[in-house]
């Protein structure tokens, strides 16, 4: 009898953890390179968080405005990211996104069309030209379904409803993963030559979030545990428009597409407050009055964007300011009004239902609000983490040989703030790259033996909570952590609050060692929460430490005690790794050097 007999062991060349846009795109690519590819889904196939993406995928195809080009997209992405982005990634992204979108069409995606029969593109915050290929406001669903339906015919091994609890390493490289299946609670080992992490974000560390239960920072924490570096973790995007009422839907996303179609933000006095504060970097790109803003959203090429289409970080802060100044809506948000466009166009109500069908549906059914007639109440919601695993900009491999990362779990493309629409294109561009390079790596690095002692340790750790039926309730620890992060490391940060947060996270870490679960291992959500909690605590600490160290306000990070950008802080990325003593180690790493041609493109587009 072998020591592995108590595990279900499978062997693959490339193992992909995560089945959202990045994971499935990586899987399609990897299998196209002729290697045995497996995908692990935390939920059922096709339910990943990508289905929630609404607005579209950014790609400079120039279908609506032929002045667009990869250079302008590159410059927009860098400006939006406060120039902390990895320029290599920003260049690949801007150059390759159009082909990735067209490829999706060849696999069956059905995009909205222009009058002359091309893929339609819409305006979005921070993008100079209409750039987002879309399908109404359900673009993520279209993308995920297309990849899923294409992928199932590529000979992939798909493991649904399984969770990875640890990465396995041997001889300094990754050799597979260890985890369990939800249905029966059986322990599993996936041996592999290369592993791609595509697990998404960390939104569940916060109380108010647009993210689903799966978003517990799994990939970031798994990689950190085996020595990978996490970069830019301080930059957590608070999307300016989440639902605020009723309480049970608080945080659910209201797409930026509402503003792309002409929606405006007003305070309780009826004032379009976004006109009151235009950031310096965008001074030349904003409409001078409401009339020019409307002309922009209806396609006038000589008009500049309305201030509602500035970047998310800025809008979230303006909304926060209005609420704090007592000019908010009855339930602690501000008003987002799309119904007003009936003053400007005939059939506005039909137009809104056609362009924003799921928003119409969501407000009608969950809040009893008809968005064609009434304003929505909206406020900031935790949406996305720009930071993540530090990777090579060409291959997506991190500092651990054989370990790749793509999509939200990876850092670099978005710098300190992500532009809307750059996420779906990120998933495609870097999913493809990670899949290709992981396949190449696996061809010369076959699966190696796993360390049985490591498996035994992990199993003991995973099953411990069953020995403490009266232990700490994992749900209440998660709840307490969400309050700490929301209240102390949220949209406005200060040193003293974040120091308090670190203290509290320390206490929660201690409690998490004593979690108890009841029942058995079959489909037991209490047990799953106890395991996910370890990852959430790791990423929460990383976010807080990085945010404390960056003594400036840039992109998504706003420090009340350091309210402006600092030149000194524009020179480094924050890098976190596990120190030899097991404690979190933080370094400042100089930002990536840029080729002179790229610097020139940025200058030209200022």
SS3 397: strand
Extract the tokens encoding 184.
């029966």
Q: What DSSP element (H or E) covers 358?
A: helix 357-367
Distance CA 130, CA 124 (A): 7
Binding other proteins by CB under 8 A: which of 75, 208, 356, 367? 367
Q: Which stretch binds other proteins (CB under 8 A): 140-148, 233-241, 279-287, 411-419?
A: 140-148
Contact status: 97 vs other proteins (CB under 8 A): no
Q: Is the peptide bond preceding residue 79 cis, with omega within 30 degrees of 0?
A: no
Q: Which stretch binds other proteins (CB under 8 A): 148-156, 227-235, 256-264, 304-312?
A: 148-156
Q: Which stretch binds other proteins (CB under 8 A): 217-225, 363-371, 406-414, 598-606?
A: 363-371
Give the angle 526-530-534 at the CA atoms, nearest 5°: 160
Binding other proteins by CB under 8 A: which of 76, 96, 337, 377? 377
Site string for other proteins, 484-503 (x = CB under 8 A): --------------------
Contact status: 572 vs other proteins (CB under 8 A): no
CB of 114 to other proteins, least distance (A): 8
Among 279, 538, 259, 486, residue whose Cα is nearest residue 371: 259
Binding other proteins by CB under 8 A: which of 173, 272, 364, 440? 364
Comparing CB distances to other proteins, the nearer of 520 and 593 is: 520
Contact status: 408 vs other proteins (CB under 8 A): no
SS3 168: strand
- According to DSSP H, which parts of 81-113 are helical? 87-106
For residues 566-590, one letter each, b for 16 or more C-beta atoms within 10 angstroms of the residue's C-beta and e for the rest, the string is: eeebeeebbbbbbeeeeebebeeee
Distance CA 479, CA 211 (A): 15
As a residue count, the chain comes to 606
Extract the tokens encoding 115.
């009058």
353 Rama class: left (phi>0) / alpha (psi -120 to 50) / beta: alpha
Contact status: 340 vs other proteins (CB under 8 A): no
Q: Which stretch binds other proteins (CB under 8 A): 195-203, 336-344, 362-370, 422-430?
A: 362-370
Contact status: 131 vs other proteins (CB under 8 A): no
Q: Which stretch binds other proteins (CB under 8 A): 145-153, 317-325, 481-489, 580-588?
A: 145-153
Comparing CB distances to other proteins, the nearer of 479 and 589 is: 479
Contact status: 470 vs other proteins (CB under 8 A): no
For strands 572-578 and 230-231, give the pairing: antiparallel
Binding other proteins by CB under 8 A: which of 105, 300, 499, 568? 105
Kindly list the distances between the CA atom of residue 134 and the CA atoms of 73, 103, 118, 333, 418, in Å, as whole numbers in the listed order. Answer: 17, 14, 12, 28, 18
DSSP 18-54: --SHHHHHHHHHHHHTT--EEEE-SSSTT-SGGGG--
Contact status: 157 vs other proteins (CB under 8 A): no
Contact status: 79 vs other proteins (CB under 8 A): no
* Cβ contact 490:500 at 8 Å: no
Binding other proteins by CB under 8 A: which of 34, 368, 506, 507? 368
Extract the tokens encoding 152.
């199932």
* Cβ contact 394:433 at 8 Å: yes
Contact status: 278 vs other proteins (CB under 8 A): no
CB of 252 to other proteins, least distance (A): 5
Among 380, 387, 425, 388, residue whose Cα is nearest residue 405: 388
Among 306, 311, 229, residue whose Cα is nearest residue 266: 306
Binding other proteins by CB under 8 A: which of 49, 92, 433, 493? 49
CB of 354 to other proteins, least distance (A): 10
Contact status: 28 vs other proteins (CB under 8 A): no
Contact status: 416 vs other proteins (CB under 8 A): no
Comparing CB distances to other proteins, the nearer of 4 and 249 is: 249
423-452 binders of other proteins (CB under 8 A): none
Binding other proteins by CB under 8 A: which of 33, 95, 102, 565? 102
Contact status: 581 vs other proteins (CB under 8 A): no
In the DSSP assignment, the letter for residue 107 is: T
In the DSSP assignment, the letter for residue 267 is: -
Show the 3-state SS of 564-601. Answer: CCCCHHHHEEEEEEECCCCCEEEEEEECCCCCHHHHHH
Contact status: 473 vs other proteins (CB under 8 A): yes
Binding other proteins by CB under 8 A: which of 476, 483, 571, 599? 476
516-535 binders of other proteins (CB under 8 A): 517-520, 522-527
Contact status: 20 vs other proteins (CB under 8 A): no
**Catalytic amino acids?**
239, 259
Contact status: 246 vs other proteins (CB under 8 A): yes
Q: Which stretch binds other proteins (CB under 8 A): 11-19, 284-292, 390-398, 514-522?
A: 514-522
CB of 46 to other proteins, least distance (A): 6
Partners of residue 562 on adjacent β-strands: 559
Site string for other proteins, 313-332 (x = CB under 8 A): -----------------xx-
């Amino acid at each position: 009898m072998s020591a592995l007999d108590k595990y279900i062991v499978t062997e693959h060349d490339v193992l992909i953890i995560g089945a959202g846009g990045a994971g499935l795109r990586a899987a399609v690519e990897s299998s196209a390179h002729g290697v045995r590819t497996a995908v692990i889904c935390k939920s059922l196939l096709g339910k990943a968080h990508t289905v929630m993406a609404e607005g579209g995928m950014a790609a400079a195809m120039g279908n609506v405005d032929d002045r667009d080009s990869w250079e302008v997209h590159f410059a927009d992405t860098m400006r939006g990211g406060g120039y902390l982005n990895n320029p290599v990634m920003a260049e690949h992204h801007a150059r390759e996104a159009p082909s990735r979108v067209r490829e999706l069409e060849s696999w069956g995606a059905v995009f909205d069309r222009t009058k002359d029969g091309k893929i339609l593109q819409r305006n979005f915050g921070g993008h100079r030209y209409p750039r987002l290929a879309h399908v109404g406001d359900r673009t993520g669903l279209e993308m995920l379904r297309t990849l899923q339906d294409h992928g199932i015919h590529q000979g992939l091994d798909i493991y649904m409803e399984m969770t990875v609890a640890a990465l396995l390493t041997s001889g300094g490289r990754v050799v597979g993963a260890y985890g369990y299946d939800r249905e029966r609670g059986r322990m599993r080992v996936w041996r592999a030559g290369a592993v791609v992490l595509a697990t998404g974000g960390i939104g569940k560390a916060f109380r108010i979030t647009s993210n689903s239960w799966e978003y517990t920072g799994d990939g970031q924490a798994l990689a950190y545990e085996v020595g990978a570096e996490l970069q830019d973790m301080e930059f957590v995007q608070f999307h300016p428009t989440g639902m605020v009422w009723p309480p049970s839907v608080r945080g659910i996303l209201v797409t930026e597409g509402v503003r792309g179609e002409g929606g405006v933000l007003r305070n309780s006095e009826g004032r379009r407050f976004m006109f009151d504060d235009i950031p310096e970097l965008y001074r030349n790109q904003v409409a001078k009055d409401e009339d020019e803003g409307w002309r922009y959203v209806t396609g006038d090429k000589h008009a500049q964007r309305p201030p509602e289409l500035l970047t998310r970080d800025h809008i979230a802060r303006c909304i926060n300011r209005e609420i704090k100044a007592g000019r908010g809506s009855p339930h602690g948000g501000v008003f987002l009004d799309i119904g007003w466009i009936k003053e400007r166009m005939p059939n506005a109500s039909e137009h809104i239902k056609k362009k924003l069908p799921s928003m119409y549906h969501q407000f009608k059914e969950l809040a009893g609000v008809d968005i064609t007639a009434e304003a929505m109440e909206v406020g900031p919601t935790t949406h996305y983490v720009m930071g993540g695993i530090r990777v090579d900009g060409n291959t997506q491999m991190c500092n651990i040989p054989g370990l790749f990362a793509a999509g939200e779990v990876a850092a670099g493309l978005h710098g300190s703030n992500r532009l809307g629409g750059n996420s779906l294109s990120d998933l495609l561009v870097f999913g493809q790259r990670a899949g290709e390079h992981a396949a190449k790596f696996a061809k010369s690095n076959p699966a190696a033996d796993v360390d049985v002692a490591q498996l035994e340790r992990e199993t003991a750790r995973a099953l411990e909570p069953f020995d403490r039926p009266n232990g700490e309730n994992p749900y209440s620890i998660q709840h307490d952590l969400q309050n700490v992060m929301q209240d102390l490391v949220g949209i406005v940060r200060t040193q003293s609050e974040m120091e308090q947060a670190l203290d509290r996270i320390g206490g929660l870490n201690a409690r998490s060692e004593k979690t108890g679960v009841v029942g058995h291992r079959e489909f037991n959500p209490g047990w799953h929460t106890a395991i996910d909690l370890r990852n959430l605590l790791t990423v929460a600490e990383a976010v807080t430490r990085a945010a404390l160290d960056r003594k400036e306000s840039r992109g998504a990070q706003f420090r009340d005690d350091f309210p402006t950008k600092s030149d000194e802080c524009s020179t480094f990325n924050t890098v976190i790794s596990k120190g030899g003593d097991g404690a979190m180690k933080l370094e400042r790493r100089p930002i990536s050097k840029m080729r002179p041609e790229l610097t020139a493109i940025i200058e030209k587009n200022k």
